Chains A and B, each alone.
Chain A
Amino acid sequence: MRNTDAVVEARREMEICNACRYCEGYCAVFPAMELRREFSNADLSYLANLCHDCRGCFYACQYAPPHEFNVNLPHAFARLRAETYREYAWPGLLAALFRRNGVIVSLIVALALAGVLLLTTTLQTPSAVYGPHTGAGAFYVVIPLGVMIAAGLATFGYSALALAMGTARFWRDTAVGLTRRADLSVWRRALSDAAALRNLSGGGFGCNDRDESFSNVRRWFHHAMFYGFVACFAATCVATIYHHVLGWIAPYPLLSVPVVLGTIGGIGLLIGTTGLLILKLVRDPVPAARELLGADVALLLLLAAVAATGLVLLALRDGAAMGILLAVHLGFVLALFLVLPYGKFVHGIYRLGALVHYAAETVPARGGARIIE
Chain B
Amino acid sequence: MTDLAGSYDVLVAGGGNAALCAAITAREAGASVLLVEHAPRDFRGGNSRHTRNFRVIHAAPTATLTEAYGDDEYWDDLRRVTAGETDEVLARLTIRNSASALAWMESHGVRFQPSLTGTLSLSRTNAFFLGGGKALLNAYYRAAERLGVAIRYGAEVQEVRLRDGAVESVAVESGGRTMRTRVKTVVVAAGGFQANIDWLRQYWGAAADNFLIRGTPYAKGRVLRNLLDQDVMPIGDPTQCHAVAIDARAPKFDGGIVTRLDAIPFSIVVNREARRFYDEGEDLWPKRYAIWGRLIAQQSGQIAYAITDAKALTLFMPSMYPAITGATIDEIAGKLALDRTALGQTVRAYNTAVRPGPFDDKILDGCRTDGLTPAKSHWAQRIDTPPYIAYPLRPGITFTYLGVKVDDRARVVMRNGERAKNLFAAGEIMAGNILGRGYLAGFGMTIGTVFGRIAGTEAARHAQH
Give the complex CA separation of A16 and B111 in angstroms: 23
When the two chains form their complex, are residues B318 and A67 in contact, meaning their CB atoms are under 8 A apart? no
Q: Which of A23, A68, A213 contacts B251 (CB 8 A)?
A: A68
- Across the interface, B314 reaches (CB within 8 A) one of A18, A37, A60, A69, namely A37
Whether the pair B257, A56 counts as a contact (CB closer than 8 A) is no
Give every chain A residue within 8 A of B138 (Cβ-Cβ).
59-60, 212
Q: Does B131 contact A (CB under 8 A)?
A: yes
**Is B42 in contact with A62, judged by CB distance below 8 angstroms?**
no
Question: Interface digits, B242-284 against A, CB 8 Å rule (1 contact, 0 not)?
Answer: 0000000001001011111000000000000000000000000
> Residue B226 at the A interface, CB < 8 A?
no
Which chain A residues (50-83) contact chain B, with CB distance < 8 Å?
A: 56-57, 59-63, 66-69
- Residues 105 to 119 of chain B near chain A (Cβ within 8 Å): 111, 113-114, 116-118
A-contact bits for B135-179, CB 8 A (1 contact / 0 none):
100100110000000000000000000000000000000000000
* Contact (A203, B42) CB under 8 Å given A16-B258, A62-B49, A67-B254: no
The answer on a CB contact under 8 Å between A62 and B131 is no
Q: Which residue of A lies closest to B53 (CB)?
A: A22
Whether B111 lies near A62 (C-beta < 8 A) is no
User: Is A23 in contact with B318, judged by CB distance below 8 angstroms?
Assistant: no
Asked if B111 contacts A15 (CB within 8 A), the reply is: no
CB-contact partner of A63 in B113, B114, B118, B258, under 8 A? B258
Among B42, B117, B133, B319, contact of A19 (Cβ-Cβ < 8 Å): B319
At the interface, yes or no: B128 with Cβ under 8 Å from chain A?
Answer: yes
Q: Are B258 and A20 in contact (CB under 8 A)?
A: yes
Partner of A25 from B42, B117, B131 at Cβ < 8 Å: B131
Q: Select which of B131, B259, B260, B322 is within 8 A of A26 by beta carbon.
A: B131
CB distance from B367 to the nearest CB of A (A): 23
B279 → A minimal CB distance (Å): 26
Which listed residue (A18, A25, A66) contacts B130, Cβ 8 A?
A: A25
In Å, the complex CA distance between A205 and B110 comes to 10
Q: A15 to B249, alpha carbons, bound, how many Å?
A: 15
Q: How far is the CA of A21 from the CA of B259 in the complex (A)?
A: 13
Main secondary structure of the interface of A (DSSP, over half): loop
* Residue in A24, A25, A37, A56 whose CB lies within 8 Å of B318: A37
In the complex, chain B residues 85-129 whose Cβ is within 8 Å of any chain A Cβ:
111, 113-114, 116-118, 128-129
B368 at the interface (CB under 8 A from A): no
- Bound-state CA distance A69–B259 (Å) is 11
A372: nearest residue on chain B (CB-CB)?
B117
Q: Are A26 and B320 in contact (CB under 8 A)?
A: no
- Beta-carbon nearest neighbor of A373 in chain B: B117
Q: Kindly list chain B residues whose C-beta atoms are within 8 Å of the C-beta of A56.
A: 131, 135
For chain B, the bracket of interface size reads 35 or more
Residue total for A at the interface (Cβ-Cβ under 8 A): 28
Assess the B134–A62 pair: CB atoms within 8 A: yes
Residue in contact with A373 in the complex, picked from B42, B114, B135, CB distance below 8 Å: B114
Q: In the complex, A62 Cα to B141 Cα: how many Å? A: 15
Query: Cβ of B114 and Cβ of A22 under 8 Å apart?
Result: no
Residues of B within 8 A of A57 (CB): 131
For window 315-348 of B, CB contacts with A under 8 Å fall at: 317-320, 322
CA distance A84 to B291 in the complex (A): 46
Contact indicator A203/B111 (Cβ below 8 Å): yes
Q: Assess whether A22 is in contact with B317, with CB atoms less than 8 Å apart.
A: no
Compute how far the CA of A146 lies from the CA of B440 in the bound complex, rounded to whole angstroms. Answer: 76
Among A15, A24, A60, A373, the one with the most B-chain Cβ atoms within 10 Å of its Cβ is A60
> Nearest residue in A to B261 (C-beta to C-beta)?
A19
How far does the alpha carbon of A16 sit from the alpha carbon of B257 in the complex, in Å? 10
Q: Is the CB of A16 within 8 A of B131?
A: no
Taken together as a complex, chains A and B put the C-alpha atoms of A203 and B116 apart, in Å, by: 13
A326 nearest CB across to chain B (Å): 50
Contacts of B238 in A (CB 8 A): none
Min Cβ gap B245→A in Å is 15
Q: Enumerate chain B residues within 8 angstroms of A25, measured Cβ to Cβ.
A: 113-114, 116, 128, 130-131
Among B257, B318, B320, the one with the most A-chain Cβ atoms within 10 Å of its Cβ is B320
Query: CA separation between A60 and B141, bound complex, in Å?
Result: 13
The complex places the Cα of A20 from the Cα of B259 at a distance, in Å, of 9
From B319, which residue of chain A is reached at the shortest CB distance? Answer: A19
Query: What residue of chain B has the Cβ atom nearest to residue A71's Cβ?
Result: B258
> Cβ of A66: which chain B residues have Cβ within 8 Å of it?
42-43
- Bound-complex Cα distance A57 to B132 (A): 10
| B52 at interface, CB cutoff 8 A | yes
Residue of B52, B116, B131 with most chain A CB atoms under a 10 A cut-off: B131
Chain A positions within 8 Å of B42 at CB level: 66-67
Residues of B with C-beta under 8 A to A24: 113, 116
Query: Which residues from A are CB-within-8-Å of B50?
Result: 62
CB-CB < 8 A to A67: which residues of B? 42-43, 254
Q: Once the chains are docked, how many angstroms separate the CA of A338 from the CA of B251?
A: 51
Asked whether B116 lies within 8 Å of A59 as measured between CB atoms, the reply is no
26 contacts between A and B (CB under 8 A): A15-B322, A16-B258, A19-B258, A19-B260, A19-B318, A19-B319, A22-B52, A22-B129, A22-B132, A22-B257, A23-B131, A25-B113, A56-B135, A59-B135, A60-B132, A60-B135, A62-B49, A62-B256, A63-B258, A66-B43, A68-B251, A203-B131, A205-B130, A212-B141, A373-B114, A373-B117
9 further A-B contacts with Cβ under 8 Å, apart from A16-B320, A19-B317, A62-B132, are A19-B258, A22-B129, A25-B128, A25-B130, A59-B135, A62-B256, A203-B111, A373-B116, A373-B117
Using a CB–CB distance below 8 Å, which chain B residues touch chain A? Answer: 42-43, 49-50, 52, 111, 113-114, 116-118, 128-135, 138, 141-142, 251, 254, 256-260, 314, 317-320, 322
